[in-house]
Amino acid sequence: MSLSAKDIAQLRKLIAIAEKMIAENPAPKRGRPAKLTEKGPAPSKRLRRSGKDLVAFRKMLKAERKKGTPVAELARNHGISAAYIYQL
């Protein structure tokens, strides 16, 4: 199937419009938001807590939840998932 000059011109217009729309729209907000901690941006590597640090961290999370702090805010501030907080 060969395309006529008119068809090719229409396809080029569609491509130009699509490129323009892609350039104008910001990237979609998918995935996890940028993590911010009290110290600044979260490190790119995963932080693993163990031993006394883990126990203290869990106690602190439970205390903040009892004060009424929203789970989403805690998760964002500490770089953990909301599911982890609910699991405690």
Q: Show me where the domains of the chain are located.
A: 5-87
User: Which residues, 6+ apart, have CB-to-CB distance to 84 below 8 Å?
Assistant: 75
The rounded distance, in Å, linking the Cα atoms of 57 and 78 is 10
Residue 35 is which amino acid?
A: K
Question: Where does the pLDDT of residue 41 fall: very low under 50, low under 70, confident under 90, or very high at 90 and above?
Answer: low
Residue 77 is which amino acid?
A: N
Residue whose tokens read 């602190």: 60
Q: Please give the pLDDT value at position 2.
A: 86
Quote the strand ranges of the chain, DSSP E: 36-37, 40-41
- Average pLDDT on 14-34 reads 79
Does residue 43 surpass a pLDDT of 60?
no
Residue whose tokens read 């961290």: 57
